[in-house]
Every structure is written in structure tokens, then in C-alpha cells.
């Protein structure tokens, strides 16, 4: 039997995502009510510019006083899609204190202060859901938090930023340089006017922190995630990747150590074999590859950004939270019981592709190989090309730690025969 009194929802933010949330709540009101067991009512919308016309939203619902809205006391669920750290953090905390559960898409805040927000939700017996914070419409948070709760996740490897994937895919498929591909992404609306958060890996790093925390039942903050952007990736790097049967993606990688006693989280460009499922992810799409003990390998794929896809994830959380509200329960909160240490990048073990500019004369390869051997880094393959006294030397290693590779490169730079290190890129997915 359906309850007639509606559940009241406060919407914080009415931009691209927020306006889609409001639209879906209105156009699918009957379906949402049937799925939840009670009607849902948009009780207020907090915005910065109240004079802007917002189709489908009655002007009397619009307010600039977000704090007063979340403190009303009759609000059942607060949907936060304003982003950033403040005032979002204060508003979410106030919502819990005044009796509301929260649905958020705020990856930056959750990566920085997720533990405190979960503690506040738990203290007040309320829900904190955030499926939309990672990978847009792709169901990922809930499968990791609930469907795989009985399994042991060992690795999460994914493309979690559509802007960077579009740029790298364009460079791969057309031979375009980085700036040319970025300009096209901007013209098509995939890249912001200031793309720093995307191309320097900040956006992906926040998502990696959230994924690692859930996957490994350990608190992982944004500061724990190694981050390296993709602005230095060149057409020459793609040519080298193709010679190896690879392509290049900006990856978020969360791993449990082989002995199970620690975890790492990192974001950086990497070569991956064309045979790997992530290599075929094109355009602005996202995909995440999960490896666990019992279920093996799972892949989640779909649109990772945009108003409608992100709103879809928000509405999914809204339905779940409203159901919990009706039944007087809450869903799963933070699971950080494992409390594993988060190791730095120096402990990460992977393969490397190193391109060196060297003198074209006898003995160079032997000198370079000696340096690798002295630092305990085993060489898999070497390719050398030379002309007019100059040469390039491409070395692909077996698996080595980042610290060992760093020492190797430092020693290589000191060789008289090495003119410079043209590029270093990790090789993943094997």
C-alpha cells in the first residue's frame, strides 16, 4: 500500500546535473512513487542566481539560502550537486543534524572528507549515498559496496574521466597532438574552459580515492593518491605504444599488495595492450575493470559524465534512500575495518617503457644495460635506431618498483652517452 504523504527532497544546485534531476523527478513522478512506495516532492531548490529561468521548476521553490533549506526539518532527503568543498560540507553536515539523509555527486569532498561525513551520517542515523560521484551513470559504487561485499577485491583499474579519454583516443586514432585534441574536446563541450582538473588527473584521483576506500575497506584520502597528468603525452608516445601492440589511457589504479598487507592508489598515463578490454573504450566513455578472488574479472562500462547520465545515478540513490526512509532503516555506511596502510608510489611494481636519446656509437647499449642491472631492473626488450651520430634507445623492462626505476633513470642521466630521457611511461594491464 502506497503512503500518500510525500517524501520531501531539497535540491542543492541546479546546473547541468541538478536541472536533469529536477526534470526526471517531475516527468517520472508516478514511476518513482510506485518504485519507492510514496510520492517524492521537490520541496526547494538552492541556487546562486535566482533570476535565471529554470524550465519546469516553480519560482516559489527557488532560494539562495541553502542553509535555511537544509535546516527546515521537514526535508527527508537533500540532493547535493553543487560540488566543491565549501559550502557543500557544511550543508551536508547540517542536513544530517536536522534529520535529512543525503545523496551527493561530490567526488572532491568525499575524497577529502568522506570519513567525517560518514561519521556524521552514522551519528544521526541517516544515509549518505554517492553513486554519481564516480563514473556517472555506471553502477559501480553500489556493486563494490554491496554486491561484492562477500568477496575480496584485489584490483580496480579504470578509465574514470571522459575528457581525458576523448583526448587520448583522438590522439591515437588521428595522430593529432595533445593541444589539437584538447581544442577539439573543448569545442565539442567535453573539456571545460580550464581543463586542469581533468588533464592533470585531479578529477580521476578523487575518484580513485573513493574506489580504493570502498574496495579495500580502508580509508583512502585524496592526498594518498599518486597523481600524474597527461599533458606530456605525445604523438611519439603513441607511435611507440603501437609498436608494442598497445595504446595509451589515463588510468586510475587501486591495488592490494600481493601479501595483502597494504594498498596503493594512483592515477597516471599508461600503455595497455590492445587485447585488454579497456583499450577499446573510445571517446568520452568510462570503464572500470575489477578483479576479485571469487568473481574474477568484471568490467563496468558506460557514459561517465553529462547531465542525464549523472542524474540517473543520483535518482537511483534517491530511490534507495527514500525506501530506507520509509522502512526506518539505513543502508550500508563506511566500511573501513581493514585499516590497511596506504603505500607510496615507490612501492608500486609494474613494467616501464623508457625512451632515451643517446650517442650513436659502440658500447652505448652495454653501458645502459649495466645501469639497469646495477639497480636490479631486468630488461625485457630493447630497440635502437641511429643516424648522424645521434640515436634513440627504447627499453621495456620486466616488472620493477617505481623506486628502483627512479634510481635507474637518475643514474642513466649521468652517463655521457645519454643525451636525455625523452619519455617514461608505465605499462599496465598485463
Those residues whose C-beta lies under 8 Å from the C-beta of residue 35, and which sit 6 or more positions away, are: 319
Cα–Cα distance, 69 to 11 (Å, whole number) = 9
Phi/psi of residue 143, nearest 5 degrees: -55, -40
Peptide bond into 87 cis (omega under 30): yes
Q: Are 393 and 353 in contact (CB under 8 A)?
A: no
Residue the block writes with cell 510506485: 34
107 classed as catalytic: no
Name residue, grid cell 603505500. 343
Distance CA(172)–CA(124), nearest Å, equals 50
- Cell 527527508 belongs to residue: 76
Report DSSP letters for 255-322, one per residue: EE-TTSS-EEEEEEEEEEETTSGGGG--TTEEEEEEEETTTEEEEEEEE--SHHHHHHHHHHHHHHHH
Of 127, 130, 63, give the one whose Cα is nearest residue 96: 127
Greatest alpha-carbon span in the chain:
86
Q: 18: which strand partners?
A: none
* Angle 102-6-114 from CA coordinates, rounded to 5°: 5
Residues 6+ apart with CB under 8 A from 43: 8, 9, 10, 61, 72, 74, 75
- The 8-class DSSP code of residue 61 comes to G
Of 207, 361, 387, 414, catalytic: 207
Characterize 151-179 residue by residue with b for buried, 16 or more Cβ atoms within 10 angstroms of its Cβ, and e for exposed: eebbebbbbbbbbbbbbbbbbbeeebebe
Burial 338-364 (b: 16+ CB within 10 A, else e): eebebbebeebbbbbbbbbebbbeeeb
Are 98 and 72 in contact by the 8 Å Cβ rule? The answer is yes
Which positions are annotated as active-site residues? 207
Amino acid at each position: 500500500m502506497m503512503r500518500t504523504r510525500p517524501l520531501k527532497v531539497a535540491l542543492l544546485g541546479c546546473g547541468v546535473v541538478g536541472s536533469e534531476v529536477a526534470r526526471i523527478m517531475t516527468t517520472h513522478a508516478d514511476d518513482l512513487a510506485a518504485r519507492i512506495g510514496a510520492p517524492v516532492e521537490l520541496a526547494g531548490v538552492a541556487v546562486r542566481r535566482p533570476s535565471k529561468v529554470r524550465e519546469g521548476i516553480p519560482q516559489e521553490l527557488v532560494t539562495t539560502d541553502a542553509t535555511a533549506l537544509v535546516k527546515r526539518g521537514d526535508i527527508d532527503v537533500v540532493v547535493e550537486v553543487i560540488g566543491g568543498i565549501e559550502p557543500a560540507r557544511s550543508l551536508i553536515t547540517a542536513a544530517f543534524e536536522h534529520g535529512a539523509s543525503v545523496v551527493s555527486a561530490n567526488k572532491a569532498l568525499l575524497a577529502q572528507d568522506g570519513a567525517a561525513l560518514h561519521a556524521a551520517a552514522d551519528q544521526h542515523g541517516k544515509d549518505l549515498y554517492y553513486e554519481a560521484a564516480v563514473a556517472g551513470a555506471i553502477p559501480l559504487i553500489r556493486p563494490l559496496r554491496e554486491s561484492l561485499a562477500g568477496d575480496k577485491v584485489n584490483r580496480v583499474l579504470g578509465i574514470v574521466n571522459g575528457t581525458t579519454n576523448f583526448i587520448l583516443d583522438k590522439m591515437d586514432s588521428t595522430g593529432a597532438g595533445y593541444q589539437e585534441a584538447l581544442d577539439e574536446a573543448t569545442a565539442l563541450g567535453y573539456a571545460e574552459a580550464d581543463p586542469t582538473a581533468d588533464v592533470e588527473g585531479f578529477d580521476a584521483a578523487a575518484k580513485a580515492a573513493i574506489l580504493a576506500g570502498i574496495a579495500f575497506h580502508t580509508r583512502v584520502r585524496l592526498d594518498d593518491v599518486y597523481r600524474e597528468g597527461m599533458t606530456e603525452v605525445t604523438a611519439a608516445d603513441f607511435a611507440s605504444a603501437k609498436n608494442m601492440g598497445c595504446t595509451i589511457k589515463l588510468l586510475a589504479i587501486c591495488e592490494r599488495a600481493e601479501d595483502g598487507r597494504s594498498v596503493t592508489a594512483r592515477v597516471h598515463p599508461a600503455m595497455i595492450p590492445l587485447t585488454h578490454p579497456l583499450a577499446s573504450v573510445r571517446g568520452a566513455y568510462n570503464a572500470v575493470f575489477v578483479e576479485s578472488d571469487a568473481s574474477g574479472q568484471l568490467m563496468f562500462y558506460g557514459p561517465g559524465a553529462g547531465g542525464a547520465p549523472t542524474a540517473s545515478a543520483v535518482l537511483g540513490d534517491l530511490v534507495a534512500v527514500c525506501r530506507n526512509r520509509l522502512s526506518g532503516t539505513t543502508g550500508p555506511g563506511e566500511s573501513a575495518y581493514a585499516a590497511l596502510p596506504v603505500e607510496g608510489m615507490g612501492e608500486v611494481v609494474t613494467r616501464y617503457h623508457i625512451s632515451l636519446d643517446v650517442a650513436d656509437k659502440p658500447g652505448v647499449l652495454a653501458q645502459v644495460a649495466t645501469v639497469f642491472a646495477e639497480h636490479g631492473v631486468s630488461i625485457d626488450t630493447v630497440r635502437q635506431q641511429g643516424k648522424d651520430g645521434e640515436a634513440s634507445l627504447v627499453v621495456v623492462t620486466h616488472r620493477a618498483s617505481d623506486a628502483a626505476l627512479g634510481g635507474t633513470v637518475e643514474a642513466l642521466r649521468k652517463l655521457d652517452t645519454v643525451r636525455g630521457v625523452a619519455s617514461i611511461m608505465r605499462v599496465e594491464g598485463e
